[in-house]
Structure formats: structure tokens, C-alpha cells
Amino acid sequence: MPATLHHTAATEPAPPRVSTRRGLRTLEFQPGMVQSEMSLADPDRLVLSYARAMMCFVLFQPRPAHIVLVGLGGGSLAKFCHRYLPHSRITVIELRADVIALREQFAVPPDDERLRVVHADASRYMATLRGAADVLLVDGFDEDGLPPALGSAAFYADCWRALRPGGVLVANVFSYDPQYPAVLRRLRACFQQRVGSFHGIAGNNRLLFAIKPAGATATPAQRALQRAAHRRGPAWGVAHRLLAHWTVFRLRWLRAV
């Protein structure tokens, strides 16, 4: 997502590209830069590995009352949470009106008492959510990657204030992004080093999990996240990908029974 709602004619972003082939509908901001992918046969299924990995927040917050997503894209995470976490209210913050306009093409349900899509700049809107969220999923990208405003110290400070005690932030950052080391430092500083990731869980997408403590003593979730941060190597990469598949499968199974 860009850092501001106002674009000049010279900097107006190209319209998002939607293509459909072999039973999959894809959203791209640039050719080959897949933002979201949907199965036409099963629109609520999480096709992309990074989306499954982001759902691992339920390992730390299994019954969030309020989930806030930064970036709608094709709505994969919003749809999945809306269907498979029936106890949760979902707010999606999306900067681009042309992306919101695609919600029907990607089977995103209309706004209701549990789902709301807000057309706003998340770098500003986040400051209004004081103590309002149990989970923050930061997945906002534009055609150039992660906008600097969504990886800034000020934004993470607003995220900290938006979370309730025990809340979880999941930030999606490309491992090859030049901003990545600085983003990690800022996130660790803001969340008092309570930040970790699951090695190899989603290819080039590095998912950073940060927990806002509920007290002075580390919770079992915090300790588990710290252990995961030290588990490296090919075998752990496979194990973590299987963990993401299992997490998503379990949520779908529990909703079906």
C-alpha cells in the first residue's frame, strides 16, 4: 500500500490486473507480481503459502474478538477469517478504491456486522485503533513492494497501541527487501524483543510474529515463538510449512463438524 491517499497524475499507480486461468483467479499489481490467488471451485481456500502461514496467529490468539487486516488484495485472509473464525469481527483497511472494487470478482462477502472494509490509509488509520484489536495482519503492498510508511517505527508504535494485551501482530515482508533488516529492528524495539518467525514457512515471504505482553512474565505463546525463531535448517522449513497446512486444515475441519 502506498503511504498516502493522494496521487499526482505522474505517480498514479497502474490499475490492478485480474486474470483467470486453470481454475485460479489472480490479482497482480505488476506482471508476475502475484498479490492474491483464488480457487474458483473453493473461493475461501488459502491457495498461497504465505496466507496459510499468516493464519498461524491462531497458535497465539485462538479466539480473537477483533482482527484488523492492512491490505485487502483479493480478500483471501478476510474471507477465510470471516468463514472459519465465526467468533471474530474483521476490519480490513485498504487504500486503493480500485482494489476494493474487485471484491465481488474475488467473492469477498459484503460488509455485515462481522466484516467491514474501510477505504483509508492504514499508516494514518491505525492511530485511531487504540486498544481495539486482538490480531493485526499487516499485508499491505504496492507495485514497488512494502511502502516505507508500513515499516516505520511510528507505524509499529501505532500497532502496539492498537493491540490489546496478549495481542499478536503478523507482518509480511519479503526477505530480499532492502528494508527488511531495518523493519526487523524497529519491530523488535517496539515489541520489546518479543518477535519471531517460522523459518522457511513461506518461501521469500518472511512472516514476523510480534506479541504484545499481557504481563511481566513471558506467556507460553511468547516462549514458543522465541523457540521457533531459533529453529533453522531444511528440516525445520518443512516442519513449519506442515504446521501452516495443519493450522488451516484444523480451522476448516472444526467449522465443518
Strand pairing category for 133-138 and 163-174: parallel
Burial of residue 208 (number of CB atoms within 10 Å: 0-12, 13-18, 19+) = buried
Q: What residue spans of 55-179 are helical by DSSP H? A: 76-84, 97-100, 122-125, 153-162
The question of whether 139 is a catalytic residue gets the answer: yes
Query: What CA–CA distance (Å, rounded) separates 72 from 100?
Result: 7
**Amino acid, single-letter form, for residue 167:** G
Residues contacting residue 17 through CB under 8 Å, at least 6 positions apart: 27, 28, 29, 31
Catalytic option among 44, 139, 142, 158? 139
**Amino acid, single-letter form, for residue 216:** A
Locate 81 and state its grid cell: 477469517
Residues contacting residue 129 through CB under 8 Å, at least 6 positions apart: 68, 158, 161, 162
Locate 159 and state its grid cell: 500497532
Tell me the catalytic residues: 139
